Structure 1
Amino acid sequence: MPPMEHKHSGCRLPLHLQHHPHPQAHVQPRVPPPRARPPAAEGGQVRPPAARLLQERADLPAGSAPRPLGRPPPVQALRQHPRRRALRLPQRRPPHLPGHPELPREDGLVDRGERQLGRAHLAGDVRRQRRRAQRAAALHPVPAGVQRQNPGTNRLAEMSCANPISALQHLVKQYLTSTTKWRKKLPYPQNHLRNLARKNCQSKFVFLTDVDIIPSRGMAEKLDVFLETAKCAGLCAYVIPTYEIDERVRFPPNKTELVRLANKGLARPFHHKVFIYNQFATNFTKWQNTADPVQEVHVSHTVTNFEFLYEPFYVAPDTVPPHDERFVGYGYTRNSQVYEMFVAGYEFLVLSPIFTCHWGLQVKKTRPPWREHQNNLNRKQFDGFKREIFAKYDKDPLNMMSKRKN
């Protein structure tokens, strides 16, 4: 096909325009010249349009009317304007706010626009003041010169460090019931926090216990000496006997005093009245009747009657199975992990003469109702847990799967 020629000029078109029906469509549009910048004020700073327009009006001779500026745009248009910041007067508040200088109120673009922007500023100030007032109300401020009276904390100066037990009991009574309402709907993630604590432990051995369990005097130092020379043929976990002691007695300094309190009914095995299976396999009778020829930590006896729901406080290497985090709140949080240890082949050895204690003799009527509710929820989770343990180790020493089939 021969090259096309323009019918008016008779010249040949470029190759990229020869087959196009409208060659003029490829012509680049004309770029408008750049807008001239406004004159700079003193100091080299460009004056905003609003300030320049007000200065021009101020320079008009007396009696002359300013030129009309037309109808101002709405507030939304001013907010979306690409140069909306330049339309605001620098270092000046809206004219209708009290305590600020008045601006001219002619019917011009700047005046109406500034009034509209001022209303928007005022609405924002009201919202900020409301949020500030809400935060202040949440803090319950006290006027200057007025001292809040709190009979609970004011007694701190009267308390003596020589009797810390009574001081702690008094402080615990100051708790409000509202601080414990979260337990009903928000179960505490105990097993997750136990695993997190174990991962950050800096020693080879860990002590799995509760936060309200008190160790006997010098137990940590005695355990260090024992663990350095302890010999275990397989997988071992060292059980530390735990007792409940009456709040009226002092903490027993040694095993002899603890046994004396137990014979008088002022101390008993942990959870003996609330849930006897919790520590029953430890065999406290044998531990109390066994004489200790030496005061160094040693193995008293081996747990031979392990049963389900046994959850002792023990010391073991950090290689024991982790706590299953599907159990949250109260119930099946520790005994599920101890059950997996037993299936995995761990041997439980009871130590003496060290021990741990819990203040107060517990009874069932003191148990809050939310614990039973959480315990029932975790009981449903245990059916799936024991099936996974059976599939993992291919063992069922307590016949848990056969009980389920029956």
Structure 2
Amino acid sequence: SLPLGKIFNLCLIPISWIDGEHQWGMSLFAPGTDFKSTVDSIRYLRDCTGEDGELIKQFMTFHIFFHEDHIPVSILRADEVLKESFKCPEIPPYASAKEENMFKNLKHLTYPINVGRNVARDAAITHFVFPSDIELYPSLNCVPMFLEMIARNEGPLLNKKPRVFPLPVFEVKETARVPDNKTELLQMLRTEDAILFHKNICANCHSVPERSKWEKTPQKERMEISVVGKREGSFQHWEPIFIGTNREPYYEERLTWEGKRDKMTQGYQLCVKDYEFHVLSDAFLVHRPGIKLMAAARRPEHEQTTNSLIDKKISRELRILFGYKKGCVI
């Protein structure tokens, strides 16, 4: 999910990821006047990017959402939009849209990232779903390798406990190339061109169980389960990004990207329900190049609002609805 200002990230995704076999769904936050720019950007990607656009037409769906207080003046149905002719501009609409002039920023709106995640999940037509963020790039071939592993149905997959499949997450230097596979990633970790995601902000939020073992294990020809962990103990604040199904708890839609902790409430539910976390051996995510420092991540006003909402309201609701289990925290 993403706001208009991030849609250019779609063009940074290697088109080989849209491989002609697997469906991609993208939810876009487009309140007020951002709606038209968003629709024009989608049209540009579909109609003005040659062969890449043809793949996007066949294998990618777009789902636009906005708050009821900021409904666009005019909303055409999808079939009406696609019937209209579109003249390809020299500059893509998303490139010419200035951040400071976007409706979201002019109105000082927060980004309801969890609404976007849930919208994309609901729109999925596959059994397995992989809710992620547009600035997190998956390793190549992770989906077919994962499905091949599921088809083998061996080892930890034979138990009947509820489970999800987390991917380790990393970030790379701004000048670095995003690694395609684990071999390239491990080399970049050795040279410190890559580090654990948010290592400088909240290392415990994104470190997987037995991470050192994962980072010492070379790339294999086929996907396996590296380790089975739980969201408890030293991982009680873990915010995993995982492959799962629509049976898993939804993301809490009152939380925002700016306020952080947006996956913590889901993590609590998974912990209380005794979910296992089957960490994948040869799949990972890498954030768009650039290592974030603590100073750049601080948003005190929004963080205070989120902390108050979780601590005074949401945590009580979750305990009433799902109960309490020792070691499970929000």
The TM-score normalised by the length of structure 1 is 0.52
Structure 1's 173 and 363: CA in aligned 2 closer, same or farther, altered over 3 A? farther
1:299 aligns with 2:225: yes
* Structure 2 match to 1:351: 280
1:382 aligns with 2:310: yes
Gaps of 5+ in 1: 1-170, 402-406
Structure 1's 279 and 381: CA in aligned 2 closer, same or farther, altered over 3 A? same
Structure 1's 186 and 299: CA in aligned 2 closer, same or farther, altered over 3 A? same
Structure 1's 399 and 225: CA in aligned 2 closer, same or farther, altered over 3 A? closer
Percent identical: 24
Give per-residue Cα distances to partners, 1:351-394, cap 9 Å, x unaligned: 01121111211112333x5x332222111111222222222232
Give how far 1:327 is off: 1.5
Q: 2:292 aligns with which of 353, 362, 365?
A: 362
Equivalences for 1:115-134 in 2 at 5 Å?
A: none
1:187 aligns with 2:187: no
- 1:365 is paired with a residue of what secondary structure? helix
* Structure 1 match to 2:180: 253
Give how far 1:304 is off: 4.6
1:318 aligns with 2:241: no
Separation of aligned partners in 2, 1:362 and 1:271: 7
Give how far 1:329 is off: 3.8
* Structure 2 match to 1:391: 320
Root-mean-square deviation (CA, aligned residues, Å) is: 2.8
Q: Displaced runs of 4+ in structure 1, greater than 6 A? A: 171-174
Give per-residue Cα distances to partners, 1:165-217, cap 9 Å, x unaligned: xxxxxx97984434487288311122222222211110111112112000111
Q: Number of paired residues?
A: 230
Structure 1's 183 and 238: CA in aligned 2 closer, same or farther, altered over 3 A? farther
Structure 2 contact 132–241 (Cα < 8 Å) conserved:
yes
1:238 aligns with 2:165: yes
1:223 aligns with 2:146: yes
Separation of aligned partners in 1, 2:236 and 2:284: 23
Gaps of 5+ in 2: 1-93
- 2:236 is paired with a residue of what secondary structure? coil
* Structure 2 match to 1:165: none
1:274 aligns with 2:197: no
Structure 1 contact 303–348 (Cα < 8 Å) conserved:
yes
Give per-residue Cα distances to partners, 1:302-327, cap 9 Å, x unaligned: 22563333111100121001112221
What code does the residue aligned with 2:132 have? T
Q: 2:100 aligns with which of 162, 171, 177?
A: 177
Structure exhibiting the larger radius of gyration computed from Cα positions = 1
- 1:185 is paired with a residue of what secondary structure? coil
What code does the residue aligned with 1:228 have? A
Separation of aligned partners in 2, 1:173 and 1:286: 45
* Structure 2 match to 1:201: 124
Structure 1 contact 390–396 (Cα < 8 Å) conserved:
no
Structure 2 contact 120–131 (Cα < 8 Å) conserved:
no
Separation of aligned partners in 2, 1:249 and 1:366: 20
* Structure 1 match to 2:136: 213
What code does the residue aligned with 1:363 have? L
Separation of aligned partners in 2, 1:242 and 1:183: 32
Q: Which moved more, 1:209-218 or 1:390-399?
A: 390-399
Separation of aligned partners in 1, 2:108 and 2:99: 18
Structure 2 contact 208–279 (Cα < 8 Å) conserved:
no
Structure 2 contact 112–254 (Cα < 8 Å) conserved:
no
What code does the residue aligned with 2:327 have? L
- 1:274 is paired with a residue of what secondary structure? coil
Structure 1's 395 and 176: CA in aligned 2 closer, same or farther, altered over 3 A? closer
What code does the residue aligned with 1:298 have? E
Structure 2 contact 236–329 (Cα < 8 Å) conserved:
no
Structure 2 contact 166–241 (Cα < 8 Å) conserved:
yes
- 2:148 is paired with a residue of what secondary structure? helix
Separation of aligned partners in 2, 1:400 and 1:239: 19
Separation of aligned partners in 1, 2:215 and 2:106: 37
Give per-residue Cα distances to partners, 1:192-249, cap 9 Å, x unaligned: 2222221111011111211200011111221222233342421011011111012222
